[in-house]
Amino acid sequence: MLAGILICAAGVLIAVYPPLFAMVVSVLLILTGALVFASAWHSRRLARHSGDSLIELILRY
């Protein structure tokens, strides 16, 4: 229920102030890029420090 109220409020704010939509989309893209970067960094770090060949096989593909 709270999520629905927040989505409706965000929709009203975007309707009242359209540049807000561009800001929301840009923040989502930045966060997505940061998560992909962090995931790749963590998986490389894990593969480097791990001696388990199974993990290396999984992370390779």
Provide the pLDDT for residue 52: 61
Summary mean pLDDT of the chain: 83
User: Structural domain of residue 29, as residue ranges?
Assistant: 2-60
Ramachandran region of residue 50, left (φ > 0), alpha (ψ -120 to 50) or beta? Answer: beta
Q: How far apart are CA 56 and CA 47, in angstroms?
A: 6
Burial track 27-44 (b if 16+ CB lie within 10 A, e otherwise): eeeeeeeeeeeeeeeeee
Q: What is the tally of structural domains in the chain?
A: 1
User: Is the pTM value of this prediction over 0.95?
Assistant: no
pLDDT in tens, 8-28: 988 888 889 888 888 888 998
Structure tokens of 41?
Answer: 């960094």
Provide the pLDDT for residue 55: 66
Provide the pLDDT for residue 51: 62
